Amino acid sequence: MGPVYPSIQHMAPENFGRRYSAPAIGLQMASAYLGAALMPMVFGHIQQLFGIGLMPLYLTVFAVLNLALLEAAYKQIEKSKNNP
């Protein structure tokens, strides 16, 4: 998901306005660090119970979730820009 992270930070002033871009980037960074800290730990517990074979499914679920939430956010941003 490497290319998504810098792209959403780069687009923060356009998506949230200059006034709110710094807090939005801070929230994005905090979420990324939290996910990077928790995802391996959670998968470690899951693979102890069910085996390492679930790793491709685990990664696919989060990749699809990431893209779906990103698209939902872009739709919400477009909707708010069209209805000021």
Q: Does position 44 have pLDDT exceeding 60, yes or no?
A: yes
Domain extent listing, the chain? 4-82
- pTM, rounded to two decimals: 0.69
Q: What is the pLDDT of residue 34?
A: 92
Say yes or no to pLDDT of 37 above 80. yes
**Section 33-51 average pLDDT:** 93
Distance of CA 66 to the CA centre of its chain: 5
CB 5 within 8 A of CB 67: no
Of all residues in the chain, the percent with pLDDT exceeding 70 is: 95
Location of structure tokens 């490497």: 2
The two three-digit tokens of residue 50, written as one number: 């069910």
pLDDT higher than 60, residue 52 = yes
As to burial, measured by CB atoms within 10 angstroms (0-12 exposed, 13-18 middle, 19+ buried), residue 12 is: buried
